[in-house]
Amino acid sequence: MKDSKYFLYSTTATSEHIDPNKHINNIIYLQWMQDAAVEHVKHNGTFDLIQSLGLTWFAKTHHIEYMSQGFLDDEIIVVTWVENLTKISTLRKYSIYRKSDKKLLCKGETLWIMINIEKSRPTKIPQNIIDVFHNIDDANIDDLNSLI
């Protein structure tokens, strides 16, 4: 059975996440995007494989669109998936929801570049890493909050 294209990461908004406006600070959404990406590659086994090859991912760009506010003690679900792979990069997308009402709080994307650690230069994504992302059930889900 193939893994799903979509990975769900759960967290809760704590007092450290709340800004003076009494909602989740904007920078926290970026942290959750990164946390979800890391947990996804740990889940699919590519985290250790990439490290063993002397490689890592660097973020080149982030785009975040805030849709609604989140608050203290909200249970949060980050849905993430790799939308596209090139020779040296992946475009990872994110949708961040409040679990209680399935409200979309934020959506975003990150362009991740494969880096050779020793050379500090972009490098081609190894085929065995590409194979992991191609060996998934890539069925698109029209309504992502149906995953929550």
* pLDDT tens sequence across 17-70: 999 999 999 999 999 999 999 999 999 999 999 999 999 999 999 999 999 999
Tokens, residue 94: 């994110």
Put residue 37 in one of left, alpha, beta given phi > 0 → left and psi -120 to 50 → alpha.
alpha
Checking if the pLDDT of 8 tops 60, the result is: yes
Q: What is the CA radius of gyration of the chain?
A: 16
d(CA 78, CA 10): 6
**pTM for this entry:** 0.90
Share of the chain above pLDDT 90, in %: 83
Residue 140's pLDDT band (boundaries 50, 70, 90)?
A: low
Checking if the pLDDT of 136 tops 70, the result is: no
The pLDDT value given to residue 1 = 39
The pLDDT value given to residue 148 = 75
d(CA 44, CA 38): 10
Q: Class of 3-137 per CATH?
A: alpha beta
d(CA 111, CA 88): 10
Checking if the pLDDT of 99 tops 90, the result is: yes
The pLDDT value given to residue 133 = 82
Report the mean per-residue pLDDT for the chain.
92
